Chain A
Amino acid sequence: NAGVTQTPKFRVLKTGQSMTLLCAQDMNHEYMYWYRQDPGMGLRLIHYSVGEGTTAKGEVPDGYNVSRLKKQNFLLGLESAAPSQTSVYFCASRWTGTDTQYFGPGTRLTVL
């Protein structure tokens, strides 16, 4: 049981480049979440999904898109990266019957 995994672990982009972050979970969880963590700001919700084929906006969705084509995967896309998107990105998932979210190890993204 790998839990929640994230790919890649580190990435450096130039302004205007695009990329996709992959989150995968092997716990058959319905709910999946994408957060960003910035110094002094805490974790902030970007987008989330309550099941395969569904997505919804969180607190800070601008500049990001997501897709949940398979239950076990949740993708976060940056179409045109900006320096303000430099952050550590965490994915989390949870089962419908519980409140506990389980987090992945994070992706550290730097946009130059």
Chain B
Amino acid sequence: EDQVTQSPEALRLQEGESSSLNCSYTVSGLRGLFWYRQDPGKGPEFLFTLYSAGEEKEKERLKATLTKKESFLHITAPKPEDSATYLCAVEASNTGKLIFGQGTTLQVKP
């Protein structure tokens, strides 16, 4: 069964304190792994898609990496505006459907 698990569930950081969020997955043939950001009361906002092990993508203070079993979202020197819930999802080959993890809620304090 295709499954996505994110850890930790919640993370509190001080401004400038770098850390990583984990997304572990089991899927029958990975077509893509997706990271989304979700602010309270809003819909998920697309961040990255990763397709193969070893791939990395960056956007401002965020960097996503992918291995055959997990993905990491590295946050370097976070700011309070990075506070949000980060969602990970996978798409199995040829399904066109995403399977989401439960999310990691990040709070960055000034």
Binding site for B on A (CB under 8 A): 4, 31, 33, 40-45, 48, 50, 58, 90, 92, 99-106
Contact = CB atoms under 8 A, between A and B. Distances in A.
Given A99-B31, A101-B98, A43 B87 contact: yes
B87 A50 contact: no
Interface of A is mostly: strand
Nearest to B91: A99
Contacts of B107: none
A103 B44 contact: yes
Nearest to B41: A106
A48 B97 CA distance: 9
A31 B43 contact: no
B96 A45 contact: no
A100 B42 contact: no
22 contacts: A31-B96, A33-B97, A40-B102, A41-B102, A42-B4, A42-B103, A43-B100, A44-B100, A45-B97, A45-B98, A50-B96, A92-B43, A99-B31, A99-B32, A99-B91, A101-B34, A102-B46, A103-B43, A103-B44, A103-B45, A105-B43, A106-B41
A106 B42 contact: yes
A100 B43 contact: no
Interface residues of B, number: 22
Nearest to A58: B97
B10 to A, nearest CB: 12
A42 B97 CA distance: 14
B49 interface: yes
Nearest to A100: B46
Contacts of A43: 44, 87, 89, 98, 100
Interface in B78-99: 87, 89, 91, 96-98
Contacts of B44: 43, 90, 103
Contacts of A100: 34, 46, 49
A90 B102 CA distance: 15
A6 B10 CA distance: 29
